[in-house]
Every structure is written in structure tokens, then in C-alpha cells.
Amino acid sequence: MRIEPAVRAGACIIGLSVSALCFALQPPGEPEQPIKYVLKEAVPVPPRAAPADYSAAGKAGKVTIAADFTGHGFPGPSGVMNSEEYVMVEVGLYGAAGEQLNISIDNFSLRINGKKTPLPSQPYGLVVKSLKDPDYEQPKKQESKSSIGGSGGAQGDPPPTPAKLPIEVVRSITQRAQKASLPEGERALPQAGLLYFQYRGKTEKIQTVELLYDGPAGKVTIPLQ
């Protein structure tokens, strides 16, 4: 029983030492403030009033396909979405009153700079991992252990991995990408939405862009840029 106070004192000293060590290892400066992010409502991309409201259009049978090439980003009704790995095309499909069309993203492809093999349209599920919302700012990561004490870390150390996005941000971006995608299946016209194509190159180096359609309505090639 007489040993118990000493044990408690020793534990207290150890606890204080650990707390002091943890405090010493913390990077200087004020504590980080939580990043504020306003979740955006996921809404579909509406068809514009007429095909002439797009930068380019073409006819496949009785269906008019209008489109805009938006590059690596899209400023849609749910906010801006960016991707370094994909480019996007906003497309609108128009027909006579009561006209219906079986829509599939597989009917669309994109030819960049006259390449022989066009890029196939990709489902939004493959795109979301690369999508970013410029309104969300990644919190700054604390210094690595190798930099503690002024050593600055060893040369050749790999760069720090970016922090994972909070689940609510991932869910918001996923829902927005899904809603913005061109709807598929048998649909009454007009319809509109996004098409995604994998392309990691810089848009400044793109000279020509052509949207190709080959589907139930017929075939058409639409120069976009």
C-alpha cells in the first residue's frame, strides 16, 4: 500500500513528460482552423433554349446534337468541377415535338488533334476520383517528423501524400457528377448533360476537337474547336 503513492507520482511524472514531448513536437504557430465547405445541391444540366445556344451543332437523322467543349473543367449549375485527367463536353439533344431517343454515352467519342482513334466516352463513376471542387481547400498538413528539429528532411524524400477528402465532400462531388451526366435510356427530347473523356494533356495544346456520334439516330461528326 505504501508503494501506491510513489507509483502514482511516477506515472504522473511520465504523463507530464509525454505531454511536454508532444507539445514540443507540435509545429509552431496557431492551431489550424477547420475548413469551411458549403455542400452544393446536385442538379441536372438543363437543355438550353435552342441548339444555336451552343457553340456547335450537327444533325444525325432527325436529331440535332449541339455541344460545347469545356476542357478540364465545367462551370455547371451545381458549381465548378475540375479534373486533370478528363475533359468534358456539354451536349444537348433536340428533336421534333414528342421525339424520343435511346441515349447511350457509348454512342459518343471525341477526336482530339485529328488522332486516328477517338477517345470513348467514360461513365461518371470512373471520373469522380479525379474530380475536384475549387471551392474546397485542402487543410495544410503538419510537418513531417524528419523536418522536426530543423533538419529539413533527407534529400530525395517523397512528397507528402495529400490528405483524403472528407466523406461529405466526396459524396457531394459524386452526386453532382452523376446528375450532370447525360441521361441514358429511352428519353423524350430535348435532353442535355455532360460527357467525359480521358485526356491528361493540356488544353492549350489542343488544336482541333471533334465530337462523334454513332447511334440509333444516325451518324454525325461535329467540329467543336
Interval 160-173: pLDDT, tens: 555 677 888 889 89
- How many residues can be counted in the chain? 225
Give the model's pLDDT for residue 5: 47
Q: CA dist 135 to 38, 80, 85, 130, 165, Å?
A: 8, 8, 19, 15, 13
Give the model's pLDDT for residue 164: 72
225 close to 112: Cβ distance less than 8 angstroms: no
- 73 grid coordinates: 473543367
Hey, which residues does 14 pair with through a beta bridge?
none
Distance between first and last Cα of the chain? 86
Tell me the fold of 43-136+166-225.
Answer: Immunoglobulin-like (2.60.40)
E strand intervals along the chain: 56-60, 63-71, 73-76, 79-83, 86-94, 100-103, 108-112, 119-122, 131-132, 185-188, 191-198, 209-215, 218-223
Q: Full-prediction pTM beyond 0.95?
A: no
Q: CA dist 71 to 14, 15, 27, 30, Å?
A: 58, 56, 40, 39
Residues of the chain with pLDDT under 50: 1-3, 5-27, 30-33, 142-153
60-94 per-position pLDDT tens digit: 999 999 999 999 999 988 888 999 999 999 999 99
72 close to 80: Cβ distance less than 8 angstroms: no
Give the model's pLDDT for residue 7: 41
